[in-house]
Amino acid sequence: MTQRLTTASGHFVSVGGNVNLYVEDVGEGKPVVFIHGLPVGQAMYEYQRNVLPFKGIRYIGIDLRGFGKSDRPLNGYSYNQFADDIRRVFEQLEIKNATLVGFSMGGAIAVRYMARHQGYGVSKMVLASAATPLFTQRSDYPYGLPVEVMESLIEAAQQDRPQLIEDFNSTLFHQKPSQAFIDWYNRMSLDTDPVAFAMSLKCLAYEDSREELNQIHVPVCIFQGKNDTMPFEPQIKGFPNAEIIVFEESGHGLVFEEKEKFNAEILKFVQA
């Protein structure tokens, strides 16, 4: 087993290639593994990390490579590599019978993990505002953004990343957050490695998980904001037996806009 360094509430887990991921591991009970979206790290789940462990949940939040406190190599920013890194975390922390939660891009990565690693260590999955099976349009897929829009964002990331992040984050919420919250979220976003940010935008533009949905054989719950611009009809088709939870007052950022409901539905699904 690879050695891991431990902080007060977290681990640095080696995933190979001299890359270490930071993992928050808090509480005891049923494990719930949280995969963050773009452009922030697992710290976006503050309101889960500080609540769910008091309710019998083991919170496990992973900073993907290039995000948060994890190492920042120049390469490896693909759904396949993210999924392989997550597998190493499951192995090193001996995580079993977990609920895997993926938000936005993290939802797409969760799908890739489940298909690529046959659901190793996972017994349930939550897709929250998930960018899956595709984030962009194709000739046979009318949902999402045109690829050209994403290409323009990738170019903008090379020219004025702070402005792009501010503009990008402003589209997440149906309810207007406080300015202090926006400043906090933007600071987290700016802390993401610039290469990881740009390459993750490229993942959103070109990764395709349509063939993977039918390879997932655990109970799935889909969380979706009623006012989210990301359609979730393809997910419903891909997971016809999934439970659907609509967040009536939320846009894309349902984790924050209805955090009490988000936590309650996580608990309900995990403990069922």
For residue 249 the two structure tokens come to 């007052």
Residues in the chain, pLDDT under 70: 1-8
Q: pLDDT by residue (tens digit) across 90-144?
A: 999 999 999 999 999 999 999 999 999 999 999 999 999 999 999 999 999 999 9
Segment holding 99, helix H or strand E: strand 98-103
Dihedral, CA of residue 235, residue 206, residue 162 and residue 60, to nearest 10: 50
pLDDT tens for each residue of 243-266: 999 999 999 999 999 999 999 999
Which pLDDT score is estimated for 2? 44
CA dist 251 and 230 (Å) reads 9
- In this structure, are residues 186 and 165 in contact, taking their beta carbons and an 8 Å threshold? yes
Query: According to the model, what pLDDT value does residue 5 have?
Result: 53
Which pLDDT value is given to residue 231? Answer: 84
CATH architecture of 4-271: 3-Layer(aba) Sandwich (3.40)
pLDDT at 265: 98
CA angle 124, 125, 131 (to 5 degrees): 170
- Would you please indicate which residues are annotated as catalytic (active-site) residues? 104, 228, 252
Burial 153-189 (b: 16+ CB within 10 A, else e): bbebbeeebeebbeebbeebbbeebeeeebebbbebb
Instruction: Write down the pTM of the prediction.
Output: 0.95
CB 97 within 8 A of CB 31: yes
The Cα–Cα gap between 75 and 251 comes to 32
